[in-house]
Structure 1
Amino acid sequence: MKNLVLTLVLAFSTLFSFAQDEGITITVTIDNVTNDKGKVLMSLHTSETFMKGKGIKDAETSIEDGKVTITFENVLPGEYAILALHDQNDNKRMDFDDNGMPQESFGMSNNVMVMGPPQYEDAKFKVANEDLDLNIRF
C-alpha cells in the first residue's frame, strides 16, 4: 500500500512538472523582405512591454531569398502582439531619417498599416490552446 501511494504521488508530480514547461508554439513567417542584408528581429509582447523595449520573447534570424521564419515556443495562453524589424545594418535598433521616418522595414502582427507608432490594440491576437502560424508583411 505504501509503495502504491508513493508511486501515485511520483506519477502526479511528474505529470504536473511537464505540464508547466508546455505551451503554444507560434511560428512567424515573413516572405517579402526586400534584401538579404542584416537580420530580421522579432519580439513577442504583452500590453505591458509593447513599444517599451524588449519583449517577453525576442529572436533574430538571417534572411535567405527574402524570407525568414522564427518560432516562439512555450507561449502561455493569453493576449500578445509581435513586432518585426529588418535590421539591415545589424545594429540591433531601428534607424530613422532626420524627419523621423523609419529607414528600415518593419511590420507587426495583424499586418496593420500605420501612420505613426504601432498600437498594441491593432496588433494584438489571442493565444489559446492550439499552435499558431502567422505571416507578417513588411
Structure 2
Amino acid sequence: MKAIASVVAVAALAFAGQALAGDVTVTLTGVQAKGGQVLVSLQKRDQFMQPTAAYGTKAPATAGDMTVTIKDVAAGDYAVVVMHDEDSNFQMAMADNGMPKEGWSMSGSPSMTSKPTFDEVKVAVPAEGASVTEAMVYPN
C-alpha cells in the first residue's frame, strides 16, 4: 500500500510539473541564407546578456521565416535572445566597433542605439506557454 501511495504521489507531482510548464514557440522573420544555425535562448533577469540561459534550442538556419519550439518552459518572465551563428562556433562574431557581425534578434525588437534592459525586452510566459514573433536583424 505504501508503494502505491508513493507512485500516486510521484505521478501527481509529474502531472503538476507539466501543468506549470508550457511550450514557447518562436517565429523568426527575415532569416537570411547564410548557412549555419540559429540559436534561440530564453534568459531570466540574472542571465540577461550573459552566455547562459534558462532554456534554449538550435536549428539549422532556413532562409525566410522559421519557427522553433522550446518545450516545457516554466511560467515566468524571459528575454528571447536569438543569434544566427553562421560559422557554428556558438559565439557572436563582433566587428571592431563592437557591433554584431552575425544576425540576431531579441524580444521587443529593441533599437541598438543603446544596450537594452531586461524590462524593455521581457516576455511574460504563462503556464500554458507562449508564441513570439520577431524579425532578424543583420549588419549591413
Do the two structures share a fold, i.e. TM-score over 0.5? Answer: yes
Give runs of aligned pairs for residues 1-138 of structure 1, distance below 5 A: 10-22=7-19, 23-138=21-136
Indicate if the aligned counterparts of 2:32 and 2:62 stay in contact, CA closer than 8 A: no
Q: Which amino acid in structure 2 is aligned with residue 87 of structure 1?
A: D
**Deviation string, structure 1 residues 50-106 (Cα, Å, up to 9, x no partner):** 112111112111122333222111111111111001111222111111111211121
Q: Which runs of 4+ in 1 moved over 6 A?
A: none
The SS at the match of 1:55 is coil
Q: Is the 8 A contact 1:36 1:62 kept in 2?
A: no
Please tell me whether the aligned partners of residues 39 and 57 of structure 2 are also in contact (alpha carbons under 8 angstroms). yes
CA distance in 1, matches of 2:40, 2:112: 18
Offset of 1:16 from its aligned partner?
A: 2.2
Larger Rg, first or second structure (1 or 2) = 1
CA RMSD after TM alignment: 2.1
Q: Is residue 76–residue 124 contact of structure 2 (8 Å, CA) maintained in 1? A: yes
Q: What secondary structure is seen at the aligned counterpart in 2 of 1:75?
A: strand
Question: Matches of 2:114 and 2:93 in 1, distance apart?
Answer: 15
Gaps of 5+ in 2: none
The one-letter code of the counterpart of 2:112 is V
Cα separation, 2, equivalents of 1:116 and 1:89: 26
Equivalent-residue separation in structure 2 for 1:8 and 1:24 (angstroms): 27
Identity rate, percent: 27
In 2: Cα distance, 1:121 partner to 1:6 partner: 47
Query: How far apart are residue 40 of structure 1 and its match?
Result: 0.9
Distance in 2 between residues matched to 1:88 and 1:100, nearest whole Å: 18
- Uncovered stretches (5+) of structure 1, i.e. residues with no partner: none
TM-score scaled to structure 1, two decimals?
0.84
TM-score by length of 2: 0.83
Asked if the contact 1:36/1:66 (under 8 Å) is kept, the reply is no
